[in-house]
């Protein structure tokens, strides 16, 4: 998903957080683990100029969820195991 730039407390940031939580919840990540990941993504989002567009991408493969945030010509990524249901 690609979002246009906006201040850290803007609707864009709220949409990013809502989508992020929804995707994590869908794969079974909730609670502290989800909160920590969201904090990391939002901190990275705030580190870019507020006018910068950002792209958030989730990829799941072999029991692992990869999260990629691209903005201002740089990428931030992390991954975490996906709970088996």
pLDDT digits (tens, 9 = 90+) for 41-80: 989 888 888 778 889 999 998 899 999 999 888 999 999 9
Question: Could you tell me the pTM of the whole model?
Answer: 0.82
Residue 13 CB partners (closer than 8 Å, separation 6+): 6, 7, 42, 45
Q: Exposed, middle or buried: residue 62 (CB in 10 Å: 0-12, 13-18, 19+)?
A: exposed
Alpha-carbon distance of 61 to 26, in angstroms, equals 15
Structural domain boundaries in the chain: 2-81
Alpha-carbon distance of 24 to 84, in angstroms, equals 13
């Amino acid at each position: 998903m690609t979002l246009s730039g906006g201040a850290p407390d803007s609707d864009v940031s709220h949409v990013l957080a809502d989508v992020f939580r929804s995707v994590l919840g869908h794969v079974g990540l909730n609670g502290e683990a989800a909160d920590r990941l969201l904090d990391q993504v939002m901190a990275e989002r705030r580190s870019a100029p507020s006018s910068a567009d950002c792209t958030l991408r989730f990829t799941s493969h072999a029991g692992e969820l990869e999260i990629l945030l691209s903005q201002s010509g740089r990428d931030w990524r992390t991954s975490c195991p996906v709970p088996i249901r």
